[in-house]
A = this chain, B = another copy of it.
Amino acid sequence: MFVSDNVSSVSPQVMEAVVATNVGDATGYGGDEVTDELTNTFSKYFERSVTAFPVGTGTAANAMALALATPRFASIYCHQYAHIETTECGASEAWAGGSKLVLLPGQHNRISPEIFRAALSRIPRGARPQAAAPAVVSLTQGTEAGTVYPLEDITAIAKLAHEHGLLVHMDGARFSNAVVKLGCSPAEMTWRSGVDVLSYGATKNGGICAEGVVIFNPEIAKQQGFLRRRNGQLYSKMRYLSVQLIALMQGELAEKNARHANEMARRLSKGLAAIPGARLLFPVDINEIFVFLPDEVGRRLTEAGYQNRLRIDHNGPHYRFVPAWNTTANSVDTFVAVASGVQPKR
């Protein structure tokens, strides 16, 4: 429980939409009406015309988006603890033709405009053939530390990027969680702030197996057909993926799911933080909590059957908890009670 939002089931509305799609034949490989509708839905959702298509996993979304944004091979700037660096087995480098991730530091897993500016000031070196040409900066929103970039930081970084000829990618694995946290529109958090291409996360937020690649910058849309085919992401029965994304955007289901997950995280973090000796590692902006817990708390959780592992990394030993769209307040309260030693058994 709370191991990841990946362990959650699928939103009933998404599943119903998939079932409802299952009528008759439809043109393959995205030529179907549902996928046409997806493009319209994305364009409405982002208040402008976009090129967009579904892929099957978050890694595929990031690697595809970054491949689109880089010529042949190039340097991709990202945070040193970005998911594309730590957890995707070199997918983005490989799909982008052998690109190089350039790792930047930054508090709470956020690259600050100052750090990015300093990195860009070293580009003169980078632009010589010794290094691959800088081509793109990737921001995770919300971050892998459960924080969010304020809009002004995205805007400042994007401005710097564009001034130096780089494009801006947003890894939005938890896109909706960040949107509801900031209370802004999807458009404001993306192209209005300078984002060129987005990995739109849906699976963690109630989908089955669908993420969106949303291209705001029309100049990088050209190779998408080839890249999708070559990377095994051109789905023959695409309507069943497209409809998942539509269902999430319709009626603000994505925002509702994300808001709930964020709330459960706040509830959980509040409960855990009240335990003597506990300490939150980062602000809890979205639905991820990183927390130091005294040994006896961990023991109590283990004894009660919770499977969360102690994590040891540059932050020291800690736990990570990720409530999801389907987490109940009751399950949070029980967990906190167990952790606090109040309730001996769940």
| Interface residues of A, Cβ cutoff 8 Å to B | 1, 3-4, 6-10, 12, 15, 18-19, 22-29, 55-61, 63-64, 71-73, 86-91, 93-95, 97-100, 103, 122, 125, 128-133, 203-204, 208-209, 223, 225-226, 228-237, 240-241, 313, 324, 326
Known: A73-B94, A234-B57. A25 touches B1 (CB 8 A): yes
Main SS of the interface on chain A? loop
Known: A97-B72, A226-B132, A232-B57. A240 touches B208 (CB 8 A): yes
Check B128–A90 contact: CB distance below 8 A. Answer: no
> Could you tell me the distance in whole angstroms from the C-beta of A51 to the nearest C-beta in chain B?
14
> Could you tell me the distance in whole angstroms from the C-beta of A29 to the nearest C-beta in chain B?
7
Check A241–B19 contact: CB distance below 8 A. Answer: no
25 A-B interface contacts by CB (under 8 A): A6-B29, A6-B236, A6-B237, A9-B22, A9-B25, A9-B26, A10-B22, A18-B18, A19-B19, A56-B232, A58-B236, A60-B233, A71-B72, A72-B72, A72-B97, A73-B94, A73-B97, A90-B98, A93-B93, A95-B232, A97-B97, A98-B98, A129-B229, A132-B226, A209-B235
Check A15–B19 contact: CB distance below 8 A. Answer: yes
Check B23–A9 contact: CB distance below 8 A. Answer: yes
Residue of B nearest to A60 (CB): B232
Which chain B residues lie closer than 8 Å to A203 at the CB level? Answer: 236-237
Check A100–B91 contact: CB distance below 8 A. Answer: no
- Whole-angstrom CA separation of A241 from B209 in the bound complex: 8
- Whole-angstrom CA separation of A91 from B25 in the bound complex: 27
> Could you tell me the distance in whole angstroms from the C-beta of A273 to the nearest C-beta in chain B?
24
Check B57–A233 contact: CB distance below 8 A. Answer: yes
- Whole-angstrom CA separation of A120 from B235 in the bound complex: 28
> Could you tell me the distance in whole angstroms from the C-beta of A177 to the nearest C-beta in chain B?
16
Given contacts A88-B130, A89-B130, A133-B226, 10 further A-B contacts (CB under 8 A): A71-B71, A73-B90, A73-B94, A89-B129, A89-B131, A91-B231, A93-B98, A122-B313, A129-B225, A209-B209
